[in-house]
Structure 1
């Protein structure tokens, strides 16, 4: 649901960032000394642009630059290749973790100055939807095209006061709906304020409502309509409603307040009739279809964020981010905070990630793929899981699999490693003699993989403990005389 993010002042350690990203310092061509009065050369990390600004200060002992960041989280998830496909919240969480732990910024102190809400749905005629917009918030659209792979794809943008609404085709047979937030006040007082807030489930309902509300405020038209088939009243209303200026009721154009209110109420009544008329006339994939598919995708997104697996991953990431925020110069993260590869998280990854061409297990849509071509992210019956990174098939236990075992893989082999971890924890908890430590203390020292394995099985340490003990205090070996 998120794509672009923007921060005007990211919280980083300047010297560590310059060294880590190898950002070029500018030198004087005459004397060869460092030009502290100039900005550093910009850096691109997987599609995320990081640039610097020179501080206006004379104290050379303190930080000389402050840094800005803007770019696409989806592009980071795709290793900087593109941002054409949607991502589920776990993939975006991993992308944000990738950015934070490699750039070593502090997400809890990095403010959000803007970001994009997005949904990408399958649509065979995106051109019809983009050309069918009359206005949004009484603002007429600006029509353009984007050039992708020798194709001119439709693009429409409407700029409001604090945000922009964009509808375009990032690739053939798809439609992306974006709300680009330029002023954070657009979201109200209870809004995400830092980079770490973006992945908090408590803000999801607000962001979903904003995106769906934007679709509801569009006035549409259906161009191929033959008005001769309409009644005279319907024909007149439709011809008037196709023009964006008809819906713009502005106070300064009226001499009296009462006349302004009368026309405003009249337009409100007419808009309901007009919308119903457009809905009845539209052939094929209509705006209602777009809204329904968007709703299904966003609700699925919201449901994933409420799962124990996502919450466990979020807690682990928060620990990792606090670590790198406090120790930006550390070489590597502690082993117990190491996240498993994204390919190990999903039980439905088989056939949904690209593998070497000689492997029989191919990415959906590629020649040789044995997976149903229609089972993809855009299907309403398919979970919101997809990945585009190259995965080693051997690590995913694919070597020993035969073609006939394809359908058994997702629920058996993908969870094999996590099941082993939870089984080991269960044996330790129920070993003879017992574990004489409170379970809340044991939970703190578990590795990230063990915590994820418990979340996969929807288990807790209390559930795994079979043997109960009446007291944690050991009996004395010898009684007092």
Structure 2
């Protein structure tokens, strides 16, 4: 479901309870040209020229983390709540970045599956394995497709695999008439984006080591 959003010209204001910060240079004492806040998983920056930028996870905004799949109604309600808190309207905010993600409980070790991924649309994987994170990433000119272990990231007992598509070039999402926050409240448009994610999963090539 819809998760990450990025709006480079956000038409809102800081919520009243936002803990805003301004960086001051320890050498010159000069204030930074932006005021920032981390608010319920959303990163907000306000610049001296009046422009604001917002990015982050709608799922974290609602749930505290993104280990669940939001329903369509939850996505719609999260946008309504965001707009109420930031005193803005969905139609006024053009999307510059968008992520669609899906968490899937599986009966196998996600790390093992990631290790056996070979390619996606003839693109070789970029792998990252850390203490708290393990994922495989594929990129083309418009999309980033990421497969990773939520189990490892959040130390979960369940085997939780996450699939995620990031629209690096919003022109791709424009093909499905997704341009503003308001479009993320349209069920048909969201279903079209979910199909992009599902089709991407179908295009994965992996090695099944259980048949040996």
Q: How would you bin the TM-score normalised by the shorter chain?
A: 0.7 to 0.9
The match for 2:94 is: 111
3-state SS in 1 of match to 2:91: coil
Pairing 1:8–2:8 present: yes
> What's the offset of the Cα at 1:225?
4.5
The match for 1:139 is: 123
The match for 2:43 is: 49
Question: Kindly tell me: are residues 95 and 147 of structure 1, through their superposed partners in 2, closer, same or farther at Cα, counting changes over 3 Å?
Answer: farther
1:240-251, aligned counterparts within 5 Å?
none
Match of 2:190 among 204, 212, 215: 204
The match for 2:81 is: 98
Q: What CA distance in whole angstroms lies between the structure 2 residues aligned with 1:207 and 1:155?
A: 22
3-state SS in 1 of match to 2:129: strand
> What's the offset of the Cα at 1:112?
0.5
- Structure 2 regions of 5+ residues with no counterpart? none
TM-score after normalising by structure 1: 0.39
| C-alpha contact (below 8 Å) 1:137/1:217 kept by paired residues | yes
The match for 1:193 is: 179
Q: What CA distance in whole angstroms lies between the structure 1 residues aligned with 2:71 and 2:203?
A: 26
Which has the higher Rg, Structure 1 or Structure 2? 1
The match for 2:167 is: 181
Q: What CA distance in whole angstroms lies between the structure 2 residues aligned with 1:160 and 1:117?
A: 16
The match for 1:130 is: 114
> What's the offset of the Cα at 1:163?
1.1
3-state SS in 2 of match to 1:42: strand
The Cα RMSD (Å) is 2.6
| C-alpha contact (below 8 Å) 1:23/1:40 kept by paired residues | no
Larger RCO, structures 1/2 (Cα 8 Å, 6+ apart): 2
| C-alpha contact (below 8 Å) 2:19/2:38 kept by paired residues | no
> What's the offset of the Cα at 1:19?
6.3
Question: Kindly tell me: are residues 25 and 142 of structure 1, through their superposed partners in 2, closer, same or farther at Cα, counting changes over 3 Å?
Answer: closer
- Structure 1 regions of 5+ residues with no counterpart? 55-63, 227-481
The match for 1:258 is: none
The match for 1:40 is: 34
> What's the offset of the Cα at 1:28?
9.7
> What's the offset of the Cα at 1:205?
3.0
1:44-443, aligned counterparts within 5 Å?
44-54=38-48, 64-78=49-63, 81-125=64-108, 126-148=110-132, 154-171=134-151, 172=156, 173-226=159-212
TM-score after normalising by structure 2: 0.84
> What's the offset of the Cα at 1:88?
1.1
3-state SS in 2 of match to 1:100: helix
3-state SS in 1 of match to 2:47: strand
3-state SS in 2 of match to 1:210: helix
> What's the offset of the Cα at 1:146?
4.8
3-state SS in 1 of match to 2:196: helix
Q: Residues 299-321 of structure 1: CA distance to partner in whole angstroms, max 9, x if unpaired?
A: xxxxxxxxxxxxxxxxxxxxxxx
In the comparison of the two structures, how many residue pairs are matched? 203
Q: What CA distance in whole angstroms lies between the structure 2 residues aligned with 1:6 and 1:174?
A: 26
Q: What CA distance in whole angstroms lies between the structure 2 residues aligned with 1:18 and 1:100?
A: 10
> What's the offset of the Cα at 1:188?
4.4
> What's the offset of the Cα at 1:25?
5.7
